[in-house]
A and B are shown apart, each in its own frame.
Chain A
Amino acid sequence: MSDKTSDSIAFVAKGTIPPSPPPASQAGVVKWLRDNLFSSVPNGILTLVALTVIYLVLQKTVPWLFNGVWTTTSLNECREVLDGKVGACFSVLTERWHQLLYGFKYPAEYYWRPNLALVLLLVAVAPVLFFDLPRKMLIFTGLYPFIAFWLIWGGTIMAPIIALLGFVVGGVVFQVYGRSSFAAGFFGGIAAALIIWALGGMLIPEGASENAMLEAVPSRDLGGFMLNLMLGVTCVSLSLPLGIALALGRQSDMPLIKWICVIFIEFVRGVPLITLLFVASVMLAYFFPPDATVDLFLRVVIMITMFSAAYIAEVIRGGLAALPKGQYEAADSLGLDYPQAMRLIILPQALKISIPGIVNVAVGLFKDTTLVSVISMFDLVGMIRGPILASTEWNGVYWELLGFAALLFFVVCYGISQYSQWLERRLATDHR
């Protein structure tokens, strides 16, 4: 051993060194600025360019926003009031906000009905989105579709009650018989529901809709942002079970089922939504019985649901694939049959993994509901391009209307994607 090292090797610290704050030049605002904004010459140039861009944008928009005129009744009056200055004509919003939100034919005295439906939607959807809320609230979630339908469309209360009754009886039959055999329970439940609906349909008296508590509003009178929300919520909710079925079918061992699902999914994913909406508006009617007149809203819901189901099926397929194979094997070795294994073990886990992807599809779908404006339905975009811009008072008011529409969509979509990120973080901490 070298002498040098044996002299100096042994060392014991005399005590604990307490933590001290970093030196001034190494922390604080100046350092932050230096590191983050001006760490090198190219970075410094980028910062200056970015600041210039921000300044230019603000310079154009801030005066326009703050000089807004809110109380006139036409564009010309706005211009008079502004007298040459740059400013927005927000009066179009004050005057036409109800058309933008509800469409231009929904009776104004009934606005409380969709408003109530929206509030109840938040209540109904809360237990689904936030797992901590009491599970009893899910009963309300189950009742909500019928309540909302009756609120928005009005008409006889018998219709939604009978529909609800059909589901309830079918569900009960399924529970009772499903224990012994899944097939008996499933088909028995469907049969029971159909019987109830048929009987109930016969029970509704003629002209019940005229004397109903809530006046009926036909589907073609729906419009505005309300229409976008309704399409979005309805189609996403309906496409979830369909998407799950497609995903399970796609990975089934039975070749016929698998190929039906594959062809459906690839076909729907390969075409743009607008072609499916063309099918809804011009083609689908040919496939219904000759005397039936099927509501445009219903036709559009059918096509958008099919579209959304295909994308959700792919997301769930990814979720099923991400599940360790051991889960399937464990379920089998416990003696669970296919429906039980799916319901109790596989699907809960796969759905949990797929939630961010499903939320993505939901946001995309909600944005895509604007496409119904192309087939002459008066959703928010349809209202803007149609009645409002075509009217003489407001011809030429672009930015205020388009900005309002953009803002509405941004708020909803950004909110949903923030929820999705929150959820992902929650789920990530659940799995260690």
Chain B
Amino acid sequence: MSTLTDPPQEQFRLSMLVNDTRYRSLTFQAIAAILLALSIWYLGNNLIQNLRAAGLNISYDFLGNPAGYDINQRLVEYDNQDSHGRAALVGILNTLLVAFLACITATIFGVIAGVLRLSNNWLVSKLMAVYVEIFRNIPVLIWIIIIFTIMTAALPGPRAFRGDDPASTMVLDLFAFTNRGVYIPMPWFESGIFASATMNWLLVLAVLVGSFFATRKIEAWATQKQEATGERPKTLAMVLGVWLVPFLLLMVIMGLTWEIPALKGFNFQGGIKIGGPLIALWFALSIYTGAFIAENVRAGIQAISKGQTEAAAALGLRPGRIMNLVILPQALRVIIPPLISQYLNITKNSSLAIAVGYADITATLGGITLNQTGRAIECVLLLMLFYLTASLVISMVMNIYNASVKLKER
């Protein structure tokens, strides 16, 4: 009878550190950790020595010091005695402003171009292809410079509007396109319900939001009617009414008036000035990114197999309904993730504002503040922190969207 014995215990040998799968990963990670620690020590050491030699240290106190420079285009109050921190805030708001505006217009350009690209009109389709190829193959910096140059070189100075027979006139007597910027009439309320202008505008926003929810209620009611009787009532008139009537009523009650820009002396006074750099950056980012969005839209719609359109057509659905009920819901799933990536690209490309003098965060914190205070490391780190945060937020939004519309499979 044989007895069962335990298998002999293996002796631990040094070569097992590399060959034995149990130890191997630990060994490599230990090596990696040592290398990482060594590099950090080496770089850190150099950093400390260099800082000491330059007489600097790492400190963020400079954010509290007065900035000493003006910012022309700003959304909040600021003057040159405000702190660097406030200048950075103005920069952040400017970045968000141009990114927001550019995302909207880029989407509009991109969707129109993408849909037209698929049109069965040969001329239009080829024209859109030309647009997409030209804009995609030339660097965005060159486009920003070109459009800024168009604005500053091709548009007239305010002086050209002077005199009895001026070289340039305001469009409709309301808008002035100059090489410094576009002046548009400013709306304000004569008899606002609240004392502060901000509260009045928030009231307008609340009314619009209310109209939005009312529209949804109307659509829900129409769907209910359709489910019950089969006929879907026409909602267009009601939707228009529910948007226009409260809004117009509020405008009348609050006494909406317009301050029209007028040429006084050498420059325009009154109205809102949308600075040239902002317009150039906004427009350039929009048409540049619009070309990429157009390709995304086209790929998304083409990704939906032809069989879907055929099946829907065989069931008797008309092309408009096919697009709404069958193609678009599926295409949006494919289009929206890259679209959100493009929004991220717009936010990052807005940092090129420094090339045209628009005061975004890269130009204030990473530009003037950095040069004036010499605090390169702190400024660049803060700058990168801002963009990282924006990227993470946008990525999170994308992940949430993806998870919520995932098609259910086995």
Contact = CB atoms under 8 A, between A and B. Distances in A.
Touch A–B, Cβ below 8 Å: yes
Interface stretch (B49-57, B164-172, B183-191, B235-243): B49-57
Given A46-B124, A50-B123, A269-B391, A288 B377 contact: no
Nearest to B15: A181
Contacts of B355: 373-374
B366 A414 contact: no
A373 B352 CA distance: 11
Contact of A270 (B50, B136, B392): B392
A36 B119 CA distance: 9
A35 B122 CA distance: 9
Interface string B366-405: 1000100000110010011001101110000000000000
Contacts of B252: none
Contacts of A279: 380
B146 interface: yes
A381 B362 contact: no
B351 A254 contact: no
Contacts of B33: 256
A288 B46 contact: yes
Given A39-B121, A181-B18, A282-B380, A275 B138 contact: no
B340 to A, nearest CB: 14
A305 to B, nearest CB: 17
Contacts of A256: 29, 32-33
Contact of A37 (B50, B121, B351, B391): B121
Contact of A272 (B25, B28, B387): B387
A54 interface: yes
B388 A270 contact: yes
A46 B121 contact: yes
Nearest to B123: A50
Nearest to A181: B18
A308 to B, nearest CB: 15
B354 A406 contact: no
B36 to A, nearest CB: 7
A398 B121 CA distance: 36
A47 B146 CA distance: 29
Contacts of A396: 153
Given A50-B127, A270-B391, A286 B139 contact: no
Given A260-B32, A409-B137, A286 B46 contact: yes
A51 interface: yes
A254 B142 contact: no
A282 B53 contact: no
B120 A402 contact: no
A290 B146 CA distance: 42
B253 to A, nearest CB: 41
A274 B139 contact: no
Contact of B142 (A39, A286, A406): A406
B345 to A, nearest CB: 9
B119 A381 contact: no
Nearest to B30: A256
A324 B77 CA distance: 58
Interface centre among B139, B349, B377 (most CB of A within 10 A): B139
A278 B28 contact: no
Helix, strand, loop or mixed for chain B's interface?
A: helix
Contacts of B122: 36-37
A406 B284 CA distance: 14
A111 interface: no
Contacts of A257: 28-29, 32
B383 A275 contact: yes
A289 interface: yes
Given A270-B388, A275-B384, A289-B46, A283 B377 contact: yes
A417 B121 contact: no
B93 interface: no
A83 interface: no
B214 interface: no
A361 B204 CA distance: 45
A253 B352 CA distance: 39
B121 A36 contact: yes
A269 B33 CA distance: 24
Interface stretch (A130-138, A344-352, A363-371): A363-371
B46 A290 contact: yes
A402 B29 contact: no
A123 interface: no
A271 interface: yes
Interface in B108-141: 116, 119-124, 127, 133-134, 136-141
Interface centre among B28, B140, B384 (most CB of A within 10 A): B384
B105 interface: no
A127 B318 CA distance: 52
Contacts of A35: 120
A413 B143 CA distance: 15
B120 A275 contact: no
B121 A47 contact: yes
Given A274-B362, A289-B46, A402 B384 contact: no
B43 interface: yes
Contact of B153 (A36, A272, A398): A398
Contact of B380 (A53, A278, A288, A402): A278
Given A410-B137, A417-B137, A398 B149 contact: yes
B348 interface: yes
A267 interface: yes
Contact of B352 (A39, A371, A402): A371
Nearest to A409: B138
B47 interface: yes
B336 interface: no
B145 interface: yes
Contacts of A409: 137-139, 142
A255 B29 contact: yes
A135 B370 CA distance: 51
A285 interface: yes
A183 B32 contact: no
B141 A371 contact: yes
A55 interface: no
Given A368-B139, A409-B142, A282 B370 contact: yes
Contacts of B392: 270
Contacts of A273: 348
Contacts of A278: 366, 370, 376, 380, 383
Nearest to B52: A290
Contacts of B380: 275, 278-279, 282-283
21 contacts: A36-B121, A37-B123, A50-B121, A51-B123, A53-B127, A181-B18, A253-B25, A254-B25, A257-B29, A271-B383, A272-B351, A273-B348, A279-B380, A283-B377, A370-B142, A398-B153, A409-B142, A410-B134, A410-B138, A413-B138, A417-B136
Interface of B: 18, 25, 28-29, 32-33, 36, 43, 46-47, 49-51, 53, 116, 119-124, 127, 133-134, 136-142, 145-146, 149, 153, 348-349, 351-352, 354-355, 362, 366, 370, 376-377, 380, 383-384, 387-388, 390-392
Interface of A: 35-37, 39, 43, 46-47, 50-51, 53-54, 181, 183, 253-257, 260, 267, 269-275, 278-279, 282-283, 285-290, 363, 367-368, 370-371, 373-374, 381, 385, 396, 398, 402, 405-406, 409-410, 413-414, 417
The 9 closest A-B pairs by CB, nearest first: A270-B391, A36-B122, A413-B137, A367-B139, A272-B348, A282-B376, A272-B351, A256-B29, A270-B388
Given A274-B351, A283-B380, 6 more contacts: A278-B366, A287-B50, A290-B53, A367-B138, A374-B354, A381-B142
